[in-house]
Structure 1
Amino acid sequence: MKVLVVFDHPRRDSFCGGVLDRFTAGLKAAGHVPEIADLRAEGFDPRLPPADEPDWDDGSKRYSDVVLQEQERISRNEALAFIFPIWWWSFPATTKGWIDRVWNNGWAYGDKKLPHAKALLIGTASGDEAGYLKRHYDEAMRVQLVTGIMHYCGIPDARLEFFYDVMQSADHRADLLKRAEELGRGF
Structure 2
Amino acid sequence: MRVLVVFDHPRRNSFCGAVLDRFVAGLVAAGHQAEIADLRAENFDPRLPPADEPDWEKPGKIYSAEVLREQERIARNDALAFVFPIWWWSFPATTKGWIDRVWNKDWAYDGAKLPHQKALLIGTAAGDEAGYLKRGYDEAMRTQLLVGVMNYCGIQDASLEFLFDVMQSPETRAILLARAEELGAAF
Please confirm whether the aligned pair reaches a TM-score higher than 0.5, indicating the same fold: yes
Aligned position for 1:150: 150
Q: Distance in 2 between matches of 1:59 and 1:14?
A: 42
1:8 corresponds to which residue? 8
What residue ranges of structure 1 are gaps of 5+ in the alignment? none
Q: Give the distance between the partners of 1:159 and 1:59, measured in 2 at CA.
A: 31
1:103 is matched with 103
| Separation (CA, whole Å) in 1 of partners of 2:166 and 2:108 | 33
Q: Secondary structure at the match of 1:46?
A: coil
The reply to whether residue 51 of structure 1 matches residue 51 of structure 2 is yes
RMSD: 0.4
Output the amino acid matched with 2:168. Answer: Q
Query: Percent identical across equivalent pairs?
Result: 77
Instruction: State the distance in 1 between where 2:134 and 2:175 align.
Output: 24
Which consecutive unaligned segments of at least 5 residues does structure 2 have? none
Matched, 1:176 2:176: yes
Deviations 1:133-179 (A, max 9, x none): 00000000000000000000000100000000000000000000000
Distance (whole Å) between structure 2 residues aligned to residue 41 and residue 22 of structure 1:
19
- Which position in structure 2 is the counterpart of 1:71? 71
Q: Distance in 1 between matches of 2:58 and 2:119?
A: 28
Amino acid at match of 1:137: Y
Question: Which residue in 1 is equivalent to 2:127?
Answer: 127
Shift of 1:117: 1.3
Aligned equivalent of 2:118 = 118
The Cα shift of 1:20 comes to: 0.3
TM-score (normalised: structure 2): 0.99
| Contact 1:59–1:110 (Cα < 8 Å) also in 2 | no
1:21 corresponds to: 21
Q: Cα offset for 1:57?
A: 2.1
How many angstroms does 1:111 deviate by? 0.8
Between the aligned partners of 2:170 and 2:84, the Cα distance in structure 1 is: 19
Once superposed, which parts of structure 1, at least 4 consecutive aligned residues long, lie more than 4 Å away?
none
Distance 2:62 2:16 in 1: 34
2:69 and 2:57 map into 1 onto residues whose CA distance is: 23
Shift of 1:56: 1.3
Q: 152-161 or 57-66: which moved more? A: 57-66
Q: Which amino acid aligns with 2:92?
A: P
Aligned-pair CA distance for 1:77? 0.2
May I ask how many residue pairs the two structures share in their alignment? 187
